[in-house]
Amino acid sequence: MTIVRNDPAQYDALAQQWWRPRGMFAMLHWLAAARAALVPPATRPGAVLVDFGCGGGLMAPHVARLGYRHVGVDLSATALPQALAHGVAAIRGDVRAVPLADGCADVVTAGEILEHVTELPAAIAEACRLLRPGGLLVVDTLADTALSRFVAVTLAERLPGGPPPGIHDPALFVNRKVLVTECARHGVRLALRGIRPSMTGTARWLTGRVEVVRMVPVGTTSVLFQGIGRKENA
């Protein structure tokens, strides 16, 4: 059977996997924890965190105590009810044209979504548009390098804990220069750092001793990386 890479229908076929820590989305759990660790507690009542491509809402338990209203945006009709059930105010929408007001967000996260989106600049523009001055953008995604294509597709799709086969289209992997330049154009200076799953954590996960693997910093952004930056004050 021919796999259509990055086919949105895959998320429907995999809908039962979202909340299984040993399922096909296992690594998304690890990444959600690492992403949430970059989000500081809310500094004002009513603060809003907008979660681009929230999927099943895996970040919800990690940000629940930070004091934000957690709003999710996703296209997947089967993922959204699961996000809702975990306390995310999840709305159906496209991250390239989000149905939310300018400056409504104290934090925008875009976790493992930018590498699934055609028209990357439109998604970045939307993330920056939603941020209020001083608001925080947190992203994690895959770089558009040969190494990344090898590690995240050729290798990882064959490994336990790796992404479901066909979920990524390497042609959409993210050009770091474009990401940083587009963010800067919209007033967010993004700093990048590479991350990977901890080796010992992965060994412990494989042998069933832990449910979550810690993501650790790595000296290159050429595979998996996080980005963080604040929107400049007007």
Ligand X SMILES: C[S@@+](CC[C@H](N)C(=O)[O-])C[C@H]1O[C@@H](n2cnc3c(N)ncnc32)[C@H](O)[C@@H]1O
Among the residue ranges 39-47, 75-83, 199-207, 222-230, the one whose residues contact ligand X (CB under 6 A): 75-83
Residue span 9-28 as binding mask against ligand X, x where in contact by CB under 6 A, dash where not: --x----------------x
Among the listed residues 53, 135, 170, 227, the single contact to ligand X using CB under 6 A: 53
Q: Where are the alpha helices (DSSP H) in the chain?
A: 9-13, 26-36, 60-63, 80-85, 120-130, 146-148, 176-185, 199-206
Subset of residues 55 to 74 that bind ligand X, contact rule: CB under 6 A: 55, 58, 73-74
Strand partners, 229: 137
Q: State in angstroms the smallest separation of the CB of 120 from ligand X.
A: 10
What x-and-dash track marks residues 102-121 binding ligand X by CB under 6 A? ---------xxx--xx----
The upper half-sphere exposure of residue 144, i.e. CA atoms within 13 Å in the direction of its Cβ, equals 14
In the complex, the smallest distance separating the C-beta of residue 95 from ligand X, rounded to whole angstroms, is 4
If one asks whether residue 31 binds ligand X (CB under 6 A), the answer comes out as: yes
Q: How far is the CB of 47 from ligand X (least distance, A)?
A: 20
- CA pair distance 113, 90, nearest whole angstrom: 15
**Please, are residues 138 and 36 in contact by the beta-carbon 8 Å criterion?**
no
- Let me know how many helices (H) and strands (E) the chain has, helices first: 8, 8
All residues at 6 or more sequence positions from 200 whose CB lies less than 8 Å from its CB, including other chains: none
Please identify, using beta-carbon distances, which residue of 117 and 228 lies nearer to ligand X.
Answer: 117
Interacting residues with ligand X (CB under 6 A): 8, 11, 28, 31-32, 53-55, 58, 73-76, 79, 94-96, 111-113, 116-117
